[in-house]
Amino acid sequence: MQDNNPKAVNTLNVGALPDDQFLDTQLETIKKDGTVKNAVAYELDDLETPVTLIATQGISGDKLGEKDYNIK
């Protein structure tokens, strides 16, 4: 999300896959204690407002954590 709208939650749209090497890992089910390399791109609404990445269990599952990223 990019919190640049005081009246509504502003979730970002997913952009094009940034690298073809991740085509086969987009929907991978990760085993406990396992890791899978992947990448996701998002279309920013502006180049100033920080972005908050929120990780969930599945698309609409439990929140696992979040991290803020400043735009450089």
Enter the tokens of residue 26.
């987009």
Beta strands in the chain (DSSP E): 13-14, 42-43, 51-56, 63-69
> What is the predicted pLDDT for the residue at 27?
80
Is the distance from CB of 4 to CB of 46 less than 8 angstroms?
Answer: yes
Domain range for 60 is 13-69
Nearest to 41 by CA among 59, 16, 19: 16
Is the distance from CB of 55 to CB of 38 less than 8 angstroms?
Answer: no
In a domain, 6, yes or no: no
pLDDT tens by residue, 4-45: 988 998 999 999 888 888 888 878 888 999 998 888 899 999
How many Cβ atoms are within 10 Å of 2's Cβ, its own excluded? 20
Number of domains in the chain: 1
Q: Is the pLDDT assigned to residue 48 strictly greater than 90?
A: yes
In a domain, 50, yes or no: yes
